Each structure stands twice: as C-alpha cells, then as structure tokens.
Amino acid sequence: MKKILIVLAVVGLAACETSYRATDTGVVVVNDATLTSFSDQYPNAANVVWARYDASLEPLVDWDLAGWRTMDESDYVVQFDMNNEPYYAWYDADGNWIGTAYVVRDYKTLPSSVSTTLNTQFPSYSISKVNREFQKDRTCYEVVLTRSSDDTKVKLLLDSDGTVLRQKTKMK
C-alpha cells in the first residue's frame, strides 16, 4: 500500500509540472512556480525554450560583473523572443527571477549617458559587445571594450545613467 501511495504522489507531482523542449538536453520539466513567474513577467514571449542552468556553458552575462547570485543545475535558463530580439532569463528552482539579458546589436541605441561615459573615459577603445541586463529594479549595460593598439580588453557594468558600477581589465 505504501508503494502505491508513493507512486501516486510522484505521478501527482509530475502532473503539476510542464515539459518543454530544450536546445540540447531533450525535455526539461519546469515547475509551475517558475512558469507562472515567467508568464507573468513576459506575457508576450514567443519561441520559448527552457533548459536547466549549466555552469559549463559560456554565459551571456558575466555573473561576477553583474553581481547576480550563484546558480546551479536545479535552476533554469529560458531563451525567448520579444520585440524581434532573442532574450535570456534565469530563474531559480523556486521560480524566483534572477535576471534577464539580451544582446544590443545597434550601439547607437545606447542611452546618451552611457555613450558619453564610454567616449570620455575610454576614448581609445572600441565596443566589441553590449548586453542590456535587467535585475530586480535595475537596468544595466555590460560592455566589452577593446583597444587595438595592445589588445587590452575592458569589461564594464554601467547603469542607465552611465555610472561605471564595476570594471574588469584584461591586458595581453
């Protein structure tokens, strides 16, 4: 009798979750709390693909620079399209939103305050990559700059006002 109850409990729990296609790992089971959190936050998301967080994959976001909390394989990453752009969002196993990011392809769309900071504080660098990142009530820009004269790379985290919040420099 105990075995039957355990089997029924497991089947019942599984019925409360939804399976989604993942990019390379087959099927991912996403719990209701996470699905609700995502659908409430992004009701217009299209082409939604869920996966478990995998620390071995190169992330879109520099976690140390962004200051986001550590994630593990029980957490989720979801790729989706919104406003004709591919977005990525991260949720913990309990459905709590960690953050969202997308690649800024047109650097001319950066806020003028961000562009001003880049031009005045890093005039000998060119932009290699920009992500727009959202976390809680904060919007930031993760910018990778390269100086061609010596291949120095600088990663910056700037707020929407152009204030440099964090910086990493890698010299060759």
What pLDDT digit, counting tens, does each position of 44-62 carry? 999 999 999 998 887 789 9
Contact 37, 75 (CB under 8 A): no
Contact 48, 78 (CB under 8 A): yes
What's the confidence (pLDDT) of residue 171?
A: 83
Judge if 6 and 39 occupy the same domain. Answer: yes
Contact 82, 23 (CB under 8 A): no
Judge if 73 and 29 occupy the same domain. Answer: yes
Q: Tell which of 66, 84, 100 closes a domain.
A: 100
Q: Which of 114, 158, 155 is nearest to 139 (CA)?
A: 158
Containing structural domain, residue 142: 107-170
DSSP state of 59: P
27 CB neighbour count, 10 Å cutoff: 10
Give 4 or 61, the one with higher predicted confidence: 61
Grade residue 119 by pLDDT with cuts at 50, 70 and 90.
very high
Number of domains in the chain: 2
Average pLDDT rounded to a whole number, residues 136-148: 93
Average pLDDT rounded to a whole number, residues 105-119: 96
What's the confidence (pLDDT) of residue 1?
A: 42
Q: What gap in Å lies between CA 23 and CA 119, rounded to an integer? A: 38
**Helix (H/G/I), strand (E/B), else coil: 60:** coil
Q: Is the pLDDT of residue 108 over 70?
A: yes
Strands 152-159 and 138-147: antiparallel
Percent of the chain with pLDDT over 90: 68
Judge if 90 and 117 occupy the same domain. Answer: no
Judge if 119 and 81 occupy the same domain. Answer: no
Q: What gap in Å lies between CA 85 and CA 91, rounded to an integer? A: 20
Judge if 126 and 94 occupy the same domain. Answer: no
What's the confidence (pLDDT) of residue 9?
A: 31
Q: What gap in Å lies between CA 137 and CA 91, rounded to an integer? A: 16
Q: Tell which of 82, 100, 118 closes a domain.
A: 100
Give 5 or 51, the one with higher predicted confidence: 51
What's the confidence (pLDDT) of residue 26?
A: 65
Q: Is the pLDDT of residue 165 over 50?
A: yes
| Average pLDDT of the residues of the chain | 85
What's the confidence (pLDDT) of residue 4?
A: 35
